[in-house]
């Protein structure tokens, strides 16, 4: 598994329980992926006081 560092550059509420996240890569500066691939993100959960894994589909077209 390859690791990437990014920060959330935009959050958009699409519905009452769906959000769109825009991530800006810090290192490396690009991700090579194929259609249908997904990413697993470690998201800080303040109520649990720990990181929890969450899986997301990549919605950008491959380059």
Residue-range domain boundaries for the chain: 5-57
Tokens of 37: 């691939």
Cis peptide before 43 (omega within 30 of 0): no
pTM (predicted TM-score): 0.62
Taking the C-alpha atoms of residue 62 and residue 35, their distance in angstroms, rounded to an integer, is: 6
Tokens for 12? 């958009």
Condensed to tens digits (0 to 9), the pLDDT of residues 5-54 reads: 888 899 999 999 988 888 899 999 888 888 888 889 888 899 999 999 99
The whole-angstrom separation of Cα 17 and Cα 7 is: 21
């Amino acid at each position: 598994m390859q690791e990437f560092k990014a920060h959330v550059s935009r959050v958009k509420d699409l519905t009452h329980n769906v959000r769109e996240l825009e991530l800006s890569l810090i290192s490396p500066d690009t991700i090579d992926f194929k259609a249908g691939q997904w990413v697993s993100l470690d998201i800080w959960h303040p109520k649990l006081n720990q990181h929890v894994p969450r899986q997301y589909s990549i919605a950008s077209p491959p380059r």
